[in-house]
Structure 1
Amino acid sequence: MVKKRQLLLDAALALFEEHGFAHTTIQMILDLSGVSKGTFYKFFSSKDDCILAIMEQRMQEDVQIRKNLETQSYASEFDLLVDQLAVPMTLPEKQRIQVLFWIGLYSGEFDSAELAGMQLKWLSERLVHLYGEEIRPYAYEGAILCYGMLYQIANTYRIYRLNEPLWKELVPKVLVYTDILLRSMQARHEHIFDSHSLSQISSQEVHHLTDKNTLITDLQAFDRMVQQSREPATTKELTRGLLFLLQQDETNRTLLQVVLQAFQREFETNVFYPEARRIQNQMEWYLEQIN
């Protein structure tokens, strides 16, 4: 079943690239993948759900890339952030997803608010860490401007069929200009977004992503399904253990990550895989944000 899900995702990605999201139908995905309609709906509720699954999968890979880079030695936090932004953009598979992500975000063809919120949350915190707490009130706007410049650069290169951008040279320049804009906003006490819009961007979406109580509720519902199933005792104990760790007042991030890895392996070939994968993604996003 896991292989069929990946076949669907690979076929959908190829079709979204060739025909665009709006002009790709579920039947086209089924024809290219060779997977039945019934199997498609076991994994995805809609075409939107399918493209979001593609992006979630790649975003988790980005999270791991960023974490791996943090273990390396850098001369400065600036150099680390440059690589955290540039390295994923140099990988062919990432470039394909980034095009779809930004097109979807700007066109509104599908709802990518949660994924955008995750990206903006991460970069805004990195900008605060790099440039200081004094820019925090403007950090989300800085993240939007930074990603916006990177997207427009990538889009311009693509439209004019230029050679691939040298991201490790371009990203530092974009970060420098982002810093200049942030300092100017701070000096003027001036925001680009009105307070209501900024509150929606920086608080409501992120709160939804980082709400521990919601994660606990979701995991409790999942645990009930597993406990009532015919799954082995080890599978049931693993799910119950993950729930127990999440319910603790003080989050043991290291232990949660270890158990989450075991959770992922346990459910990879399991009938509960789609729901387990969703739980895993939410948990990893939560852990990423409390880092």
Structure 2
Amino acid sequence: MTKKQLIMDKALELFAKQGFEATSVQQITDHCGISKGAFYLSFKSKDELIVALIDHFMRQFTSDIDYVVNKEVNGESLLYDFYYTTFQSFHKHSDFTKILMKEPAHSFNEELFLKLHNYNKAIEKVILTMIERLYGDQVIYLKYDLMFCIKGFMNTYSELFLLYKLPIDLELLAQSLVEKTNLLANNMTISFISDELIQMIDQPLDEEHSLDQIVNIVEKNIEDMEDSIEKESLILLRQELLEPALHPAIVKGLLENIRHHPHCKWTAYLLRNQFGI
């Protein structure tokens, strides 16, 4: 474990108990058994550490559900896989998810709000893609209403095991929400959220990545990794970004090689979008 990861893990423990504002850098360094100087070699400030934690969780969550929605699967299992992956990720990262749910809004500075806003828009994009795959023209005028209903299910049902610590059968939960979502999709007739309303509340993502930025992210992954199939795959994917030559099936296989690596999930997400896979 790197020192940076150690700081993130130990800080998360303190944030879960005390919240962001009540936790000082001194408490974090004491909990890690390191000096303040060592902390500031990894993070410029506590806010930068919090941003790193948000990035770590939200990148993994967004890339996981994006993969589920965009891979070629039986349409009948798509919605189930989406809900199961969502709540499995919430459960896996329950400490951090609880912090986001409980932390008062004034604890977040402008940069943190922007981060969360951008990830929220990315998640909405994934959900809309899923809705279009599942229901097509059937819900063309209701897709935004259905998207917000699905987000409501995600937020509300997560409280059962994040706030109330109830034992949850993830399979049954996913099956139940599939039934509810299909009932809504098949029976809704009145649209509230119009295209015009979406245009009023929707803002473009400020963190869209250019080709050069994606290449730099891939190169950083390559530098940080030891020799492995993931590193070899990243080298080939970097070459494909610079000089496209591979068959899409080969690119898809290379993306499969890296997507399970915890430090490559976001890279895989960016590359899938860049290659249109």
Q: Match of 1:287?
A: 271
Give identity over the alignment, percent.
18
Compare 174-183 and 28-37 and name the one that shifted more.
Answer: 174-183
Instruction: State how far apart, in whole Å, the 2-side matches of 1:288 and 1:174 are.
Output: 28
Q: Match of 1:234?
A: none
Instruction: Report the AA paired with residue 122 of structure 1.
Output: V
Q: How does the TM-score come out when normalised to structure 2?
A: 0.67
Q: Match of 2:241?
A: 246
Decide whether aligned partners of structure 1 residues 94 and 80 sit closer, same or farther in structure 2, where only a CA change above 3 A counts: same
Instruction: Report the AA paired with residue 79 of structure 1.
Output: Y
Q: Give the unaligned 5+ runs of structure 2.
A: 224-231
| 1:249 Cα deviation from its structure 2 partner | 6.3
| 1:68 Cα deviation from its structure 2 partner | 8.2
Decide whether aligned partners of structure 1 residues 114 and 66 sit closer, same or farther in structure 2, where only a CA change above 3 A counts: closer
Decide whether aligned partners of structure 1 residues 254 and 165 sit closer, same or farther in structure 2, where only a CA change above 3 A counts: same
CA deviation profile, 1:231-251 (whole Å, cap 9, x unmatched):
xxxxxx999865442235688
Higher helix share: 1
Decide whether aligned partners of structure 1 residues 219 and 54 sit closer, same or farther in structure 2, where only a CA change above 3 A counts: same
Is the 8 Å Cα contact of residues 59 and 265 (structure 2) preserved in structure 1?
Answer: yes
Instruction: State how far apart, in whole Å, the 1-side matches of 2:39 and 2:249 are.
Output: 34
| 1:146 Cα deviation from its structure 2 partner | 2.0
Is the 8 Å Cα contact of residues 214 and 270 (structure 2) preserved in structure 1?
Answer: no
Please state whether the residue corresponding to 1:130 is helix, strand or coil. helix
Q: Match of 2:16?
A: 17
| 1:123 Cα deviation from its structure 2 partner | 2.5
Instruction: Report the AA paired with residue 43 of structure 1.
Output: S
Is the 8 Å Cα contact of residues 94 and 162 (structure 2) preserved in structure 1?
Answer: no
Q: Match of 2:35?
A: 36
Q: Match of 2:175?
A: 172
| 1:54 Cα deviation from its structure 2 partner | 2.7
The residue correspondences of 1:191-230 to structure 2 (distance < 5 A) are 191=193, 194-200=197-203, 204-205=204-205, 208-209=207-208, 211=209, 214-217=210-213, 219=215
Q: Give the unaligned 5+ runs of structure 1.
A: 228-236, 269-276
* Matched length: 259
Instruction: State how far apart, in whole Å, the 1-side matches of 2:39 and 2:253 are.
Output: 30
Answering whether residue 126 of structure 2 is matched by residue 142 of structure 1, we say: no
Instruction: State how far apart, in whole Å, the 2-side matches of 1:68 and 1:190 are.
Output: 28
| 1:125 Cα deviation from its structure 2 partner | 1.6
Please state whether the residue corresponding to 2:207 is helix, strand or coil. helix
Compare 22-31 and 242-251 and name the one that shifted more.
Answer: 242-251
Is the 8 Å Cα contact of residues 86 and 168 (structure 1) preserved in structure 2?
Answer: no
Is the 8 Å Cα contact of residues 216 and 243 (structure 1) preserved in structure 2?
Answer: no
Please state whether the residue corresponding to 1:23 is helix, strand or coil. coil
Instruction: Report the AA paired with residue 172 of structure 1.
Output: Q
Please state whether the residue corresponding to 1:188 is helix, strand or coil. coil
CA deviation profile, 1:31-67 (whole Å, cap 9, x unmatched):
2112333333333333333233234334455445875
- How well do the aligned residues superpose, as a CA RMSD in angstroms? 4.6
Q: Quick one: higher RCO (CA 8 Å, sep 6+), 1 or 2?
A: 2
